Structures are given as structure tokens and as C-alpha cells.
């Protein structure tokens, strides 16, 4: 990024902070599909992105609050799609199309459940599964029928100082990140107490500040927003049941590791990602970082591979905090390991691919995923558990 561009972003951020300070007391001003009565004493606004991993975990929590508090809570769901998430806006388009037909909740649940499979073709299928007219869904997706609303919500989010999802407002209290239901229930109960209303869920303990997670988020102004790419354009050269190709690559701290280092000791997941500093990659590895216990429980080691050079990977990984797994560079000869596995794309980057390899070096699971979306960790988890049985 050029120096003047970075300066502009910093200036823009300062302006937004000033705007937020001036407008934060302006009252409830969140628009979007709602669940719950309009006269509810507690109003919740959930700013989300359908490709945001923490939003996926937060969405069912939000719905549970509506169900548990019944007529005391109204939820407003507000799209805040990241420009770097290729399928976030089309998914929002489908959700709003469903809302037009009284099926927002069903779409909200389905789209988060299918987060790792939000391709344009699949969105048509999901519309049909929701009972929506296929011609209407297709026309709305192609013509961006709700883009005006999506852009309205996006710029309004910027105006009130939002920079990340999930962001949640409980009346005027701003909360950020994923939390369990009790965390939000405590805040809702505080609002009910102000109005002299007894909570239907009873008392819940005051939230304890969480410890810092293993991984941090890459700062938004450091993420390179890339255009959507063809989901896959390489030819896989290995298959399940085959011995995994050996490799020896250098980690970002200068050590060389090879696949054979792990033979007889642990199962291995190889995670190829396309490029440092890009949105989906910058969300995928932090998710694995936060789930170290899952890998440990299943006697599985993780190796992250990118065709980026070591200095770029070193800087990128530094913004994500202390990664517990080694990250290696497949830069020179460029993409040699990715090419041997058959996941080097025409553009010179690796596919977004996962290979689960057992202690004998045999490939047991492969996911060459749509490069524009993050693989479903729950599927990888189930495969590790299956292998460890």
C-alpha cells in the first residue's frame, strides 16, 4: 500500500472516531430485519458478515436470546459485509430476499450453517431450499436488488465507528466479538433492571474479562482486498489413500522442517493458503490457532504453507499473535511443494487446500476448497476425530 493511501486511511479513521463520539448519544438508529416486538424494552443490534467465523458462532446466541426473553427483546440484524469477503454481499442479498417473504430467520440460520459453501450457484440452491421462487432469487442476485440497503447499512456502520464484526449493541451498550449467551444475558438483565422489569432467565454472573486468545486479528487497514477468483483452477495430483509427497521447507524463523519429521509420532494437517495479508487467509489460520486443543486431543500437528516469501510471512504472522504451529514458505523454487500436490494455481498462488495425513504418511482426507471462502473447521475436526479413533 502506498504511503499516501495509508495516511488517508488513518485520517479517515480519525474522522470516523470523531463522528462516532458526536453521534453515539443520538439514540437507537439501527436498521435491518427484526425478530421480536417493536415495543420490546431491550433492543439488540447485531452487525454481522456471513463469511465472518465469529459471527457464525454468535448468530445462534443472538437467536437464543430472542427465544429466551420472548417479548422483552427485539433483535435487529444488520449486514456489515467486508469488502474482502467475496460471498458476503451476495449472501446478504439472499437473506434480504428471504426477509421480503417472511423467511429471514430461516435464511439467517441456513447461510451461517453453510458458511464455507456460499458460492453463487449454491446460493440459488439455498433459495430453493428456503421455498423462494428461483427466478426471483436469481434475478435479485444478478441485479443486486438490495444493494442500496446493503450499502446504506455498510456506510451507517462506518459512521458510528464500527470496524469489525461481530459488533453488538444492547440498547446503547456496545459489545464486540464472540461471547456466550450468559455474557449477553447479564447486559440484558442490567437494562431490564433499569426499567424495573424482572428477568425471565433469572440472575446470571457478571462476565469475567476473557484472557487474550492465542491469535489476534490482522488489522483491517493492513488487509489487501482482492477480487473474487475462480473457486479452483489447478489439477490435484494426489488422492486419499496415497502416500503424501515429502517436502523440506524453511519456517519463518529459519528452521527447516519436513513431513518425515512427524512420521510415527503424529498425524499431520497441511494447510495451504493462497496469500498473506488477504481477508480469508487472515481469518483461517487464527481459527486454527484458537483450536489448538482440538489438534492436541487428536494427536495432530498442523503445518501452514504459503508461496509467499519468508519476510512477508514473518510480518503477517506477527500481526496474528503467537501461532502455535509452524508456518513455512514455498517461495523458492516457487510453489514447488504446492505443485507436487497439484494445488498450484495458474495465478502462481496455492489453492486453499487441506490434507490430513496419518502417522504412516498416508493421505486420509483432502479438501481443495473454494479459494474465496474458509473451509468448515467442524468438518476438519470430525475428520481428525475419525482418524484418531
Q: Which residues are catalytic?
A: 281
Nearest-angstrom CA–CA distance, 389 and 382: 11
Residue 296 CA to chain centroid, in angstroms? 23
Residue 7 makes CB contacts below 8 A (sequence gap 6+) with none
Q: For residue 134, what is its C-alpha cell?
A: 428461483
Distances in whole angstroms, Cα of residue 289 to Cα of each of 263, 276, 278? 22, 16, 17
Report the 10 Å Cβ neighbour count for 109.
Answer: 13
Residue 45 · residue 30 · CB < 8 Å: yes
Backbone angles phi and psi of 93, in degrees to 5: -60, -45
Nearest-angstrom CA–CA distance, 236 and 221: 34
Q: For residue 258, what is its C-alpha cell?
A: 519436513
3-state helix, strand, coil in the chain (%, to 5): 40, 15, 40
Amino acid at each position: 500500500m502506498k504511503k499516501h493511501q495509508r495516511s488517508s486511511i488513518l485520517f479517515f479513521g480519525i474522522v470516523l472516531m470523531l463522528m462516532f463520539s458526536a453521534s453515539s448519544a443520538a439514540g437507537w438508529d439501527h436498521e435491518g430485519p427484526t425478530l421480536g416486538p417493536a415495543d420490546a424494552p431491550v433492543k439488540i443490534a447485531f452487525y454481522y458478515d456471513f463469511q465472518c467465523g465469529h459471527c457464525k458462532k454468535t448468530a445462534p446466541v443472538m437467536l437464543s436470546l430472542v427465544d429466551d426473553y420472548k417479548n422483552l427483546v427485539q433483535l435487529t440484524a444488520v449486514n456489515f459485509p467486508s469488502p474482502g469477503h467475496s460471498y458476503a454481499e451476495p449472501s446478504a442479498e439472499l437473506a434480504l430476499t428471504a426477509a421480503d417473504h417472511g423467511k429471514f430467520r430461516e435464511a439467517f440460520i441456513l447461510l451461517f450453517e453453510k458458511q464455507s459453501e456460499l458460492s453463487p450457484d449454491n446460493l440459488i440452491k439455498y433459495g430453493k431450499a428456503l421455498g423462494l421462487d428461483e427466478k426471483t432469487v436469481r434475478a435479485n442476485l444478478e441485479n443486486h436488488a438490495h444493494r442500496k440497503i446493503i450499502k446504506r447499512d455498510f456506510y451507517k456502520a462506518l459512521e458510528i465507528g464500527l470496524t469489525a464484526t461481530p459488533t453488538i449493541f444492547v440498547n446503547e451498550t456496545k459489545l464486540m466479538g464472540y461471547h456466550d449467551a450468559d455474557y449477553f444475558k447479564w447486559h440484558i438483565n442490567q437494562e431490564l433492571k433499569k426499567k424495573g422489569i424482572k428477568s425471565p432467565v433469572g440472575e446470571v454472573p457478571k462476565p469475567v474479562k476473557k484472557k487474550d486468545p492465542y491469535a489476534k486479528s490482522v488489522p483491517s487497514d493492513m488487509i489487501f482486498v482482492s477480487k473474487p477468483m475462480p473457486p479452483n483452477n489447478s489439477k490435484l495430483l494426489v488422492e486419499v489413500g496415497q502416500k503424501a509427497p515429502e517436502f523440506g521447507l524453511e519456517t519463518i524463523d529459519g528452521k527447516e522442517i519436513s513431513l518425515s519429521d512427524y512420521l510415527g509420532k503424529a498425524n499431520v494437517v497441511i494447510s495451504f493458503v493462497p496469500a498473506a495479508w488477504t481477508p480469508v487467509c487472515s481469518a483461517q489460520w487464527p481459527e486454527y490457532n484458537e483450536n489448538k486443543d482440538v489438534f492436541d486431543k487428536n494427536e495432530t500437528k498442523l503445518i501452514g504453507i504459503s508461496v509467499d516469501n519468508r519476510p512477508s510471512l514473518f510480518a503477517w504472522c506477527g500481526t496474528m499473535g503467537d501461532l502455535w504451529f509452524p508456518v513455512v514458505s514455498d517461495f523458492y523454487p516457487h510453489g514447488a511443494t504446492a505443485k507436487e500436490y497439484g494445488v498450484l494455481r495458474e495465478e502462481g498462488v496455492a489453492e486453499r487446500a487441506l490434507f490430513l495425513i496419518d502417522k504412516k504418511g498416508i493421505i486420509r482426507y483432502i479438501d481443495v476448497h473454494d479459494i474465496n471462502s474458509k473451509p468448515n473447521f467442524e468438518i476438519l475436526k470430525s475428520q481428525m476425530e475419525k482418524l484418531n479413533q
